[in-house]
Amino acid sequence: MVTTNSKKWNKSIIIYGIAALLLFGVLFAATYHDRRSGQEKTTVRIVMMGDSILGECRDESSVSARLAQLLGEPVFNGALGGTCMGRTDTEMRLAYTKDCLSMQAFSQSIVTGDFGIQQTVRSREAATGYFEETINEMEQIDFASVELLIIGHGINDYHAGTPIYNGEDPYDAYTFTGALRSTIKTLRDKYPDMRILLLTSPYSWYPYNDAYELTCENYNLGGGLLEDYVNAEIGVAESMGVEVIDLYHDFYPHEQWSDWEIYTRDGLHPNEEGRKLIAEKIYEYLSADEAED
């Protein structure tokens, strides 16, 4: 049986609880300090984003450092190994690591200036120790000052078997081309003068796989061959008027199986000569474009 006193007691608890929440809200509003306020933004003209093809090496022999040396100006390396262009978690969990760090998710953070969702990521995967510092530095960049954004994604979408197209929704973030279109549109709407330059994924070999002489030409992980992703990316670039450098066709020699040792350390990630070759390819493209102007 519920007594009158117990009813009064329960009512008092509810009242005090509401009062405590209101007090907390007032104190939180009075003391909260936006981590982005009061911090001077960094001005940088060239930013590079992508996966481990660009981001695995971060010393003076990295693609970004080589390109910076050739151009004579800084190039910020925001590439993060293991990340994709598109989202891969079809259950749509907002905290899913790979989706938070996808280029499609980063494009939204770039235009809002809020990298909070990426700041919460603590990846347990190997070779991700540089993620936190890179994201912190990226958050401080004034992207309104960025004139050239170089994006190199695709190999991990291929490895994940991410669908290339969605015929019913060309901006489907859970497809490779949909995420690419979404990324370009998001960035263009906010920064119409920003120059976007896409890099396709280079040819890849899988020498440590049990299969004999397995390459991207015969390795289908569910979404198609790597060349299918590359051709689709080139098609999106052409349809949306975005520049693209093709690092797949006629770039790495691959007539012989042993050619994987020329420019890669494991058939996938570029070795020092490979990183130099990629940087020079980008530099030659940019230089030729400037010469035409």
Residues 18 and 135 in one domain: no
Going residue by residue through the chain (293 aa), what tens digit of pLDDT does each one get?
Answer: 545 454 444 555 455 445 444 444 443 344 334 445 556 888 999 999 999 999 999 999 999 999 999 999 999 999 999 999 999 887 665 556 778 999 999 999 999 999 988 888 765 565 678 999 999 999 999 999 999 999 999 999 999 999 999 999 999 999 999 999 999 999 999 999 999 999 999 999 999 987 789 999 999 999 999 999 999 999 999 999 999 999 999 999 999 999 999 999 999 999 999 999 999 999 999 999 776 66
Same domain, yes or no: 13 and 72: no
> In the sheet where 148-152 sits, what is the strand order?
76-77, 46-50, 148-152, 195-199, 243-245
Same domain flag for 125 and 252: yes
Shared domain for 20 and 119, answered yes or no, is no
What is the structure's pLDDT at 24? 40
Do 112 and 192 belong together in one domain?
A: yes
Residue 121 has a pLDDT of: 73
79 plus 126 within the same structural domain: yes
- d(C-alpha 14, C-alpha 16), whole Å: 6
For residue 25, give the H/E element and its range.
helix 4-31
Residue 138 and residue 5 share a domain? no
Q: If residue 47 lies in a helix (H) or strand (E), which one and from where to where? A: strand 46-50
Based on the fold, state whether residues 23 and 64 are members of the same structural domain.
Answer: no
CA distance linking residue 134 with residue 78, whole number of Å: 6
12 and 93 share one domain: no
Query: pTM for the full model?
Result: 0.84
Amino acid at 95: A
CATH code of the domain covering residue 172: 3.40.50.1110
Say if residue 176 is in the same domain as residue 107: yes
Q: How many domains does the chain have?
A: 2
How many whole angstroms separate alpha carbon 28 and alpha carbon 113?
22
Residue for token pair 């440590």:
208
Domain holding 226, by residue range, is 41-292
Q: Are residues 161 and 18 in the same domain?
A: no
Per residue, the 3-state secondary structure of 173-204, as one string, reads CCCHHHHHHHHHHHHHHHCCCCEEEEECCCCC
Same domain, 116 and 93: yes
